[in-house]
Each structure stands twice: as structure tokens, then as C-alpha cells.
Structure 1
Amino acid sequence: MIQYITLRVNAHSTEDRSRVDQALDFFLQNIDSDKEKLVETISAEGHYGNPIIIYNAQITQRSKCRYFISFLKKELNPDDLEKLRSEISLRLDEDQFFYMKFDKQTAYQGKLELSSSSDAVTVKMKITTFPKNWDNARRFMEEVLE
């Protein structure tokens, strides 16, 4: 089962914050009408003193986690979905977290696309199995992404 899903995205000082908000909103649409309950913002400073706003959102309700998975499967193009399936073993760590990155600019445009960039919307899903077992988590993710 998916225990929770965490989304994280940074807004750099050179970016329009409203666009970053809109990119995150694309992922959270229909998850909760009160986005303020889901999203926390943190002010940080970059390596050269530049201001960065970090957005963190956490989805904890099972029904909303299932909805998020449906959203991913619906919005991802078939090639990206197949890439996720083929990389399950690479994206799942020993603590049973499954990691994905999505293009921030594409999300702003209302489209979902995998990314390898560090400037992306990162998604981390906590997978829970009983007993805790990496192989069981891998099999679970195979079923989820089917």
C-alpha cells in the first residue's frame, strides 16, 4: 500500500513563483480543495545567497494516494509510463521509497513528462508492505503501474 506521497518543487529567484505554483497545482488538482492544508513553503538560500522558495506537499489519505496514481497513469505518455515500469528496481530504495521526477515547465503547461533534471517536481512515495520487504514493494509497484 502507499502510505503517503510527498511532492517537492523549488522556486528560484529567477522564476515567476506563480508559474511554479501552477506547476504544483497541476499535480494536486482534485486532491484537496484546500491546497493550504497540503502545501508548506520554506524560504531558503542558494549557494550564492539567492533566495529559493521550497514547496512541500504531502498526500496522506489512501483514497487521495490512489487518485494520484490514477492521475499519473492517465497523464503520462505511454513511453514514460513504460520507462517507470522498467526502472522500478532503480527507483525503489531499501526503505521502500519510490522516486520520480517530472519536468516543471511541462507541468506548468498542464502536461506530465518524466525528467532527469534537478530543477523538477520530485515525487516520493512511501510503500508499506507487511512484512517490510523490498521484493514485495517492487511487486506492489509493478501492479500499481500496470
Structure 2
Amino acid sequence: MARVDSILIQVLCHATEDEDKVMKAVENIIGSEAMEKASTISQSLTGHYGDPILFIKLTIEDSKIAEKVLARILSNLSKYDLQEILRERSKLGRHGGKIYLRFDKQAAYLGSFKIMDKDPIKIQVNIRGKIEKLLEKLMGEKP
């Protein structure tokens, strides 16, 4: 049976951004329960022009919570975005795969799920088993 193994979330917080607001944007995507259970690592970096950047990485290892996060994300995406994920943003392996998602930080802070490639909240969903089967199970229908 297909299941979510874990979820990795990565986000950059630039000097012009409020770290609390960036973390609130992440929480709006993954939910408060997942936010509390996630292990978080932060690393200070320096940008090209010497500006400070904070790299934040969250990991959700609990497969039940990780599956709830994926279900939450899927329920907030349009049919078009779901098809895009299956077609372009998933990598199938021999015994599972990965789904790569990138969400707009500003939209996430405001509570909406907008797929965006520029300066995003990056989410990698690690799946054991067939991605299509898992998505069908979580959505209750074929995408």
C-alpha cells in the first residue's frame, strides 16, 4: 500500500522578510499540528551582495502527520494544479517516488495555496509505493 514516508520543507528568509511571517506562511501550508511536530534547523547564510539570508529546513518524519499534510495540500489545490503535479512535479522510483511542490510565500501567508517557482516554500514529499494510488486514496477520486 502506498504511503507518505516523510516531508522535507525548505524556505529562505531574506533580510527584508520577517522570520515570524515566513514561518506563519509555512504553517498555513502544512497546518499547526505538523508545524509543532516538525524538526527545524536554521542556518545563517550570506547573499550575493552580502545580505543576510536565513535558510530554514523542516522535516516531518511521522508518516501519519506527513500524510495529513499532503491531504491538506491536495484539498487546497485546483484540478489543474493536481494534474500539473502528476505530470511535471513527481519523480517515480522503483519502490516509491517524490512529489516536489513550490508555493508562493506571500500567498501562503495570506492563506492561499499558489504554486510558484520564484523564491518559494519548497516541499518534497517522499512516498513509498505508487504515487497515483496514494493521490487517489487521499483525494477520493482520480486526478
User: How much has 1:115 moved relative to structure 2?
Assistant: 1.2
Cα deviation 1:104-125 (Å, max 9, x = unaligned): 11101111111122x0000112
Q: 1:9 aligns with which of 8, 11, 16?
A: 11
Change (3 A) 1:65 1:33: closer
Change (3 A) 1:30 1:13: closer
- Residue 43 of structure 2 aligns with an amino acid whose one-letter code is I
1:141 corresponds to which residue? Answer: 131
1:92 corresponds to which residue? Answer: 91
CA contact (8 A) 1:92 1:98 kept: yes
Task: Give the 3-state SS of the residue equivalent to 2:41 in structure 1.
Answer: strand
1:24 corresponds to which residue? Answer: 26
Runs of 4+, deviation exceeding 6 Å: none
CA contact (8 A) 1:31 1:68 kept: no
**Aligned-partner Cα distance in 2 for 1:5–1:128:** 12
**Which protein is richer in strand relative to its size?**
2
CA contact (8 A) 1:26 1:108 kept: yes
Unaligned runs of at least 5 residues, structure 1: 130-139
Change (3 A) 1:64 1:97: same
**Aligned-partner Cα distance in 1 for 2:56–2:29:** 13
- Residue 141 of structure 1 aligns with an amino acid whose one-letter code is I
Unaligned runs of at least 5 residues, structure 2: 137-143
CA contact (8 A) 1:31 1:67 kept: no
CA contact (8 A) 2:100 2:123 kept: yes
CA contact (8 A) 2:9 2:57 kept: yes
Aligned length: 132
| TM-score normalised by L of structure 1 | 0.78
Q: How does 1:61-140 map to 2 (within 5 A)?
A: 61-88=62-89, 91-92=90-91, 96-117=97-118, 119-129=119-129, 140=130
**Aligned-partner Cα distance in 1 for 2:55–2:42:** 5
CA contact (8 A) 2:34 2:69 kept: no
% same residue: 26
